[in-house]
Amino acid sequence: KAGVTQTPRYLIKTRGQQVTLSCSPISGHRSVSWYQQTPGQGLQFLFEYFSETQRNKGNFPGRFSGRQFSNSRSEMNVSTLELGDSALYLCASSRGDHTDTQYFGPGTRLTVL
């Protein structure tokens, strides 16, 4: 069974630009969660999508948004990039029951110049 895949793996953007990251969950998984990892703040929860609906949200500004498609694939968008948005962005998928184990992808390394 294929694992969680994320594209692209690496990305370089400049301040003020926007970026879209993609996550394909494990087959059969309906929940996708996004996390941001930085050296200063560690791993922080961004949001979770289930059946195309956001059902949980972390404490991030509105510049961070996401969506989920009918095939459970998810995208995360960051608008008006700031230097502090440089991070490893991770997505995790699960079947969707709130007790399910989440499995992580390899992450997208975003660098904002």
The reply on whether position 32 binds another protein by CB under 8 A is: no
CA 11 to chain CA centroid, Å, is 14
Place of tokens 């029951």: 97
39: which residues sit within 8 A by CB, 6+ positions away? none
Q: How far is the CB of 16 from another protein (least distance, A)?
A: 26
Residues 40-59 that bind another protein (CB under 8 A): 42-45, 48, 50, 55-56, 58
Contact 112, 14 (CB under 8 A): yes
The reply on whether position 74 binds another protein by CB under 8 A is: no
Binding region for another protein (CB under 8 A) out of 11-19, 63-71, 76-84, 97-105: 97-105
Beta bridge partners of 93: 32, 103
Cβ proximity to another protein, 15 vs 57, nearer residue: 57
